[in-house]
Structure 1
Amino acid sequence: MESVSRRDVSRRAVLRGAGGAAALLAGGAVASAGAGSAVAAPAWSTLQQRMSGQVLVQGATGYTAVAHGYNPRFDTVWPSAVARCVSTADVSAAVAFARSNALPFTIRSGGHALTGWSTGTGLVIDTTLISAMTVDPATATATVGAGARLIDVYQKVASAGLALPGGTCGSVGIAGLALGGGIGALTRPWGLTCDQLTGATIVFADASVKQVSASHWPGLFWALRGGGGGSFGVVTSLTFRLRPAPTFQVWSMPYDMSAAPAVVAGYQTFMATADSRLHGELSFRATPSTGKTSLTVTGTWIGSAAALTAQLDALVAAIGVRPNARTVSSQGYLAAMLQEAECSSYASCHLPPQGTIPRVPSAGASTMVYAPLSPAAVTTLVDRVRAGLAVPKATWTGCTVVALGGAVRSTTTADSAFGHRDARLMLHYLARWSPSTPTLDPTPFDGYVRGFRAAMAPFCGTGAYVNYLDISIADHGAAYWPGTYARLRTVKATVDPGNLFRFPQSVRP
């Protein structure tokens, strides 16, 4: 069987191909208007007069560079205009303009939505430039503009000797990541990104600006902690609680695919009760061009290398099969986050022209797993991984199995809208194809990831992670927010009763 490096098979590569985080929705709200997507030129000049940032219409200099989000499969969608907001006041002006003109609009921060809902044919309200960050070491807090990229947040807090639990895609926007949850290397030790949120600035449907926290608009604050982006307003800044940056032990153990059933079974049993300082995941990949599949167990540990040795010995014993190799490296917080993001340096960990992260067309889906995978479920999972070899024109397909638990269960649904507190695992399915053919018919790739999800549903149910939006999910409220959707709808009815902020899978009043 194929033996490849951790870099080749890791979830970081999966997330990069998926558009992160992913995903990772930063908005996707669509105005309730029935007007067409085109707006007369004088109207655009009116909006420009009300903004400090630029309004770029089709044909304007600079428009093409900002017209699209991360995933090039949606590059055939061209907005009528992009409002490049540089402040909360700009966002307020853009929301008021869209509402008064009955204009369809979308909200974009990182632009990584797997469904393409962070772009549209009307107005795109782009918060990318609202990216200023301040860190207060005395209070161990950071206030971050909604457009800041995750890797920039990591660099900023690390420079103060502090850390924030986040995701694994460096180019994803912090707003979309945090509002939907935020799963990464520090999730089991410290909790989700949304669990660290202590306050936010948000533009309401009437264009007013509110400061939201546990004491001001507490219901909305609850909703913003895991309720997803784009349903309640436009978040323009977020304040997070930080902790002293730990030292990481980053580890990897590749296995032959023949051992996959034993690896899945042993991994899920061990991680169910493992020390919460241990983060671990299984990374499967199938490469049609080579006809090969691969499996690597990867993760991090915040503690000593000696203590990690005992943990990994116990994990291998639970699996019952020795890996092909074991590598461990000790790294600081920023270095570990760069490796998690598959970046060789901070400078490279950005989209072009600033960095070298490629825009890769992809399809994705997910499943949240609450009960141990049965032998039949494990067999189905491994079979579906191998089925990825038959997806025509895919550069690779994959599945990542991520252990949850630990600190995720320390915050309840009474404190946060994230509905999957008791999930044991998250399964993330992905198919990607060549950037040279971004507009290739996505049907086979969508079919693969959705087929994977459907195949696992009889064993796992229909729960899904909102940051991996999946348009094929019919009852999205129950899938993304089990046990919290009814309360989310109540909050929605309070702050946006007219349903101005909406998209196909938003919270409905």
Structure 2
Amino acid sequence: MSTTPADATVTGLVNPYEELEAQLRGYTIKPADPAYDEARAVYNAMIDRRPAVIVRCADAADVVACVRFARQHSLEVAVRGGGHNAGGLGVWDDALVIDLSLMRSTTVDPANHEVRVDGGCLWRDVDHATVPFGMATPSGFVSSTGVGGLTLGGGVGYLTRLAGLTVDNLLSADVVLADGSLVTADAEHHPELFWALRGGGGNFGVVTSFRFRCHDVGENGVIIGGPVFYDLADVGEVMRWYRDFLPEQPGDLNGWIGVTRIPSVPVFPEELHDRRACVIVWCYTGPHADAERVLAPIREFGNPLLVGLQNLPFSALQSMFDPLLPSGLQWYWKADFITELSDEAIEVHRKYGEAIPTELSTMHMYPISGAAQQVAPGDTAFAYRGGGWAGVIAGIDPDPAKAQLISDWAKAYWEELHPTSAGGAYINFIMDEGPDRVRAAYLENFDRLAQVKAQYDPDNVFHINQNIPPAAE
């Protein structure tokens, strides 16, 4: 990489980062380097920030060097894993970005149903390692999502009803702390830090590796799943049936619900392209011999436009929507937790479903029930354990000229729907919405998180995130 000087707060050297570069197995990318614009880009193309330097770390020692260097020179620190964060908090103007994207190794222990995962992995890396053994770790719904960001925020996904959140399956984490030390946090070592990492976001350090519990899924990793679409005119009937049906089902059946426009792609019949619809995407991970009985009520309900249930590897379901949602789209997100899908809320979904402004814009509700409810609200930092859903309204389009259009739709939708919500929102789904929204995400756990922050990061070094300030002494 070039050693062209970069604009930064480090002064007095021809190359202000020469001292850091001498310690790295990875490399730096600075504003004058050809790779800079690509390296600073994140998943959400609405984000346009210019870091002072991006450090592609090769290992934990590189991360340690970055944290120490940043503190020595009073540089802001941002931490980038998969870059999926809605608010683009993996990059920041004039910051030193600790980029973990080179750290992508995984190690599977099939006998003990565990997997060790580097901090820069995407969930497709984990699925690639575990699904051939018939196992998976609970994750999200898009395989290009980073392991670090999703995990530290909680981890709601297809396996939530079967095996809990991602954080419920975290066994240990290697963490570089604000003082530049490296520790392993688990139930016996740094237990308060371990508690806080399970939902408290990136507030407590840089996680360089995770160790997760895995679960058998389907038959040798093959599950039954896929989308079922209904005409939007039927959204009231569908949502009322769904809200009553799903909570009564065993944990090996999950399904998220949304309002959408059917994508204009060859996998769907041309006559359905761009049609406004209500969709439920199902995932059944139980014995295939029981599938006909379990899935019969789904196949028999209502008047679906398309039933896309099929046998497929769990990794294929996880990556099903990746081609529709590549990096570089415009995104605007609004979110809330929902404990009750009321008739009033259903009418709001119908109204804004009819007004979806672009083909990719959508609303999704992801269940937090089954096994996720068996964990007490205070057992992890993730506090919403009473059932219901993590809801997100996403205005999405490739055209920057439509950024205002999709943002206005998402905001108006959320403002009308919010009075029916539980108040807070899934931390992974909010953008830059202020400290009150962060506090609301954690309920009674916030004050304890602030105490852990005061212990492990009293100077708030890691504050480019959904920030939890350290408690005052």
TM-score of the superposed pair, with normalisation by structure 2: 0.89
1:461 to 422, 429, 433: 422
Alpha-carbon contact 2:251-2:370 (below 8 Å) kept: yes
Aligned runs of 1:362-441 on 2, under 5 Å?
Answer: 362-371=331-340, 373-389=341-357, 394-434=358-398, 437-438=399-400, 440=401
> What SS does structure 1 have at the residue aligned with 2:210?
strand
Deviation at residue 71 of structure 1 after TM alignment: 1.7
Equivalent position amino acid for 2:336 in 1: T
Aligned runs of 1:195-206 on 2, under 5 Å?
Answer: 195-206=168-179
Equivalent position amino acid for 1:456 in 2: L
2:114 to 136, 141, 145: 141
Taking a change above 3 Å as real, the CA distance of residues 208 and 272 of structure 1, as seen in their structure-2 partners, is same
Do residues 477 (structure 1) and 435 (structure 2) align? no
Deviations 1:59-97 (A, max 9, x none): 1243333122222222x3222211111111111111111
Identity fraction in percent: 28
Equivalent position amino acid for 1:375 in 2: D
Equivalent position amino acid for 2:190 in 1: W
Alpha-carbon contact 2:217-2:286 (below 8 Å) kept: no
Aligned match of 1:303? 286
Deviation at residue 359 of structure 1 after TM alignment: 2.5
Equivalent position amino acid for 2:115 in 1: A
Equivalent position amino acid for 2:293 in 1: A
Deviations 1:17-42 (A, max 9, x none): xxxxxxxxxxxxxxxxxxx9544453
Alpha-carbon contact 1:266-1:315 (below 8 Å) kept: no
Do residues 44 (structure 1) and 17 (structure 2) align? yes
Aligned match of 1:361? 330
Structure 1: gaps (5+ residues): 1-35, 344-348, 350-355
- Residues paired across the two proteins, number: 450
Aligned match of 2:205? 233
Alpha-carbon contact 2:87-2:432 (below 8 Å) kept: yes
Taking a change above 3 Å as real, the CA distance of residues 504 and 443 of structure 1, as seen in their structure-2 partners, is farther
Aligned runs of 1:114-263 on 2, under 5 Å?
Answer: 114-121=86-93, 122-228=95-201, 230-247=202-219, 248-263=223-238
Q: CA RMSD in A?
A: 2.4
> What SS does structure 2 have at the residue aligned with 1:365?
strand
Deviations 1:217-253 (A, max 9, x none): 001101111112x211111100111123423111432
Alpha-carbon contact 2:42-2:328 (below 8 Å) kept: no
Taking a change above 3 Å as real, the CA distance of residues 332 and 460 of structure 1, as seen in their structure-2 partners, is same
Alpha-carbon contact 1:189-1:277 (below 8 Å) kept: yes
Alpha-carbon contact 1:70-1:111 (below 8 Å) kept: yes
2:67 to 79, 90, 95: 95
- Aligned partners of 1:123, 1:416: CA distance in 2, in Å? 30
> What SS does structure 1 have at the residue aligned with 2:334?
strand
> What SS does structure 2 have at the residue aligned with 1:166?
coil
- Aligned partners of 1:205, 1:252: CA distance in 2, in Å? 44
- Aligned partners of 2:196, 2:58: CA distance in 1, in Å? 25
Deviation at residue 369 of structure 1 after TM alignment: 0.8
Deviation at residue 474 of structure 1 after TM alignment: 5.0
Deviations 1:337-357 (A, max 9, x none): 333x446xxxxx9xxxxxx94
Deviations 1:441-460 (A, max 9, x none): 73332232232222111111
Deviation at residue 476 of structure 1 after TM alignment: 2.2
> What SS does structure 1 have at the residue aligned with 2:460?
coil
Alpha-carbon contact 1:476-1:505 (below 8 Å) kept: no
Deviation at residue 401 of structure 1 after TM alignment: 2.2
> Which has the higher relative contact order, 1 or 2, with Cα contacts under 8 A spaced 6 or more apart?
1
> What SS does structure 1 have at the residue aligned with 2:196?
helix
1:330 to 311, 318, 334: 311
Alpha-carbon contact 1:110-1:172 (below 8 Å) kept: yes
- Aligned partners of 1:423, 1:473: CA distance in 2, in Å? 26
Equivalent position amino acid for 1:328 in 2: L
- Aligned partners of 2:288, 2:230: CA distance in 1, in Å? 22
Equivalent position amino acid for 2:356 in 1: G
Moved more, 76-85 or 474-483: 474-483
Aligned match of 1:17? none
Deviation at residue 125 of structure 1 after TM alignment: 1.0
- Aligned partners of 2:462, 2:415: CA distance in 1, in Å? 30
Taking a change above 3 Å as real, the CA distance of residues 375 and 333 of structure 1, as seen in their structure-2 partners, is closer
Taking a change above 3 Å as real, the CA distance of residues 139 and 468 of structure 1, as seen in their structure-2 partners, is same
